[in-house]
């Protein structure tokens, strides 16, 4: 039995996008287990959450990194040493300094504890950077150098690593949430239906409350204008507000609170349920005729279901992911004013059949890229298992042995 730890994933996050990464990665690991015959147990290192875990099974264990545990590095390293391999996905896009020093410092702390535990670390497909501070760049370079395998989820991130001075081999993959299966029933609509994800975080101005992501338009005003325009379309579509971060205890981030507030202003819109799992959200989104939103994994749920989607980007990760796959419908909210933003979404709805064809082709490209990552990860897992059986643990390997394996991957 090989134990694989998942770090900076989540089994119960209110952000269903982080959950989608977890479910997708576990699906990949189970596929590797079937293909190689290696029994794999998965340990998810997680924070205590208010919702039930949405990953389960006899192969799943959840270990909580509480505040008390985090204060004692020896306890954290003891937990990490129970694993034969750790996959670190950096919450998808959080290995960067755009979200502030607190989040990045905690991430760097845990990453180094994983390496100090002598457990091999894989950096699973994620967005790397930006690292705008001269203080963070050396740490980023060092942590990337130490990993046994590095995978990005788009061309932009691979280029960013090269600009950072990373010369080691890198697998340019895609987002593991493409592997998320839909879960449960989906609604049946009687007319054309548009899903709109309104980000509670952007409605609040980001974590700072002062337009943290430097959007050109006033986001709340633009969303109200967009809803008005969608309701006035000659097709008279059903307009559904779809939440993907559902966190009632944190209203400044909660999409569902934002949706209910907007419904009071626009009673003709429908508010989608407060989904319990990422798969349930994907099943619902897959039933729509068109989708637009600022939560990237809500857009990925649409895209991977071949629903035409207009991603409303507040950072470079959107264009990085979708553009790398040849899907060219991203609306950059940092570069477009309100009128242009709204018109771009309306144009996307009018051109939805062409976008659906484009999504179908781009999704296949994403699946091919994920196969590259899966094959590289399978090779790492096979070598870890071989060393474990022979009593020569990979974690005992010297630096030059690690680099030799990097070259083979």
pLDDT at 49: 77
**Same domain for 226 and 102?**
no
- Compute the CA torsion angle 265, 267, 269, 272 (nearest 10 deg): 90
What does the pLDDT average to over 18-28? 97
Six token digits for residue 53: 């875990």
For residue 16, tell me if it sits in a domain.
yes
294 & 368 share domain = no
User: Is the per-residue pLDDT at 210 higher than 50?
Assistant: yes
pLDDT digits (tens, 9 = 90+) for 316-353: 999 999 999 999 999 999 999 999 999 999 999 999 99
**Average pLDDT, rounded, for the chain:** 93
Residues 67 and 136 in one domain: yes
Return the closest-CA partner of residue 65 out of 15, 7, 2, 3. Answer: 7
Containing structural domain, residue 236: 193-362
What was the pLDDT predicted at 384? 96
Q: Is the pLDDT of residue 394 over 60?
A: no
The count of domains in the chain is 2
The answer to whether residue 185 is domain-embedded is: no
What is each CA distance from 233 to 142, 225, 226, 350, 393, in whole angstroms? Answer: 53, 13, 11, 10, 63
Q: Are 79 and 97 in contact (CB under 8 A)?
A: no
Establish if 13 belongs to a structural domain. Answer: yes
The CATH number of whichever domain residue 233 belongs to comes to: 3.40.50.2000
**For tokens 């477009």, what's the residue?**
336
In this structure, the answer to whether residues 10 and 122 fall within a common structural domain is yes
Q: What is the pTM of this model?
A: 0.92
Confidence of residue 98 (pLDDT cuts 50, 70, 90): confident
**Confidence at 403, pLDDT banded by 50, 70, 90:** very low
Query: Both 314 and 168 in a single domain?
Result: no
- Is residue 184 in a domain? no
Looking at the fold, whether 242 and 169 belong to one and the same domain comes out as: no
| Co-location of 358 and 368 in the same domain | no
Q: Is position 37 within any domain?
A: yes
Q: Do both 270 and 382 map to the same domain? A: no
347 and 274 co-located in one domain: yes
């Amino acid at each position: 039995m090989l134990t694989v730890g998942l770090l900076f994933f989540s089994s119960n996050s209110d952000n269903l996008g982080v959950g989608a990464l977890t479910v997708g990665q576990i699906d990949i690991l189970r596929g590797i287990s079937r293909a190689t015959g290696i029994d794999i147990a998965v340990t998810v290192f997680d924070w205590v959450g208010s919702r039930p875990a949405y990953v389960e099974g006899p192969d799943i264990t959840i270990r909580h990194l509480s505040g008390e545990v985090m204060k004692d590095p020896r306890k954290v390293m003891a937990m990490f040493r129970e694993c034969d391999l750790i996959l670190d996905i950096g919450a998808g896009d959080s290995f960067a300094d755009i979200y502030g020093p607190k989040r990045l410092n905690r991430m760097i702390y845990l990453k180094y504890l994983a390496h100090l535990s002598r457990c091999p670390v894989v950096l699973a497909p994620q967005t790397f950077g930006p690292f705008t501070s001269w203080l963070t760049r050396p740490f980023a370079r060092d942590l990337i150098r130490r990993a046994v395998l590095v995978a990005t989820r788009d061309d932009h991130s691979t280029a960013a690593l090269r600009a950072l001075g990373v010369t080691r081999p890198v697998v340019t993959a895609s987002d593991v949430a493409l592997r998320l299966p839909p879960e449960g029933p989906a609604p049946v609509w009687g007319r054309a239906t548009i899903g709109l994800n309104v980000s509670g975080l952007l409605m609040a101005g980001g974590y700072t409350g002062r337009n943290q992501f430097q959007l050109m338009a006033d986001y709340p005003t633009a969303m109200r204008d967009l809803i008005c325009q969608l309701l006035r379309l000659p097709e008279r579509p059903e307009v559904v507000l779809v939440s993907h971060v559902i966190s009632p205890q944190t209203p400044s981030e909660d999409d569902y609170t934002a949706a209910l507030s907007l419904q009071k202003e626009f009673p003709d819109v429908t508010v989608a349920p407060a989904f319990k799992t990422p798969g349930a959200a994907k099943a619902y989104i897959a039933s729509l005729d068109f989708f637009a939103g600022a939560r990237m994994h809500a857009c990925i749920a649409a895209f991977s279901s071949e629903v035409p989607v207009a991603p409303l980007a507040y950072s470079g990760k959107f264009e990085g992911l979708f553009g790398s796959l040849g899907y060219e419908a991203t609306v950059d909210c940092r570069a477009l004013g309100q009128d242009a933003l709204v018109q771009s979404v309306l144009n996307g709805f009018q051109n939805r059949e062409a976008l659906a064809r484009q999504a179908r082709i781009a999704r296949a490209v994403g699946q091919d890229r994920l196969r590259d990552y899966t094959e590289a990860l399978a090779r790492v897992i096979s070598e870890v298992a071989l060393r474990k059986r022979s009593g020569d643990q990979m974690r005992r390997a010297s630096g030059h042995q690690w680099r030799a394996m990097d070259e083979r991957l």
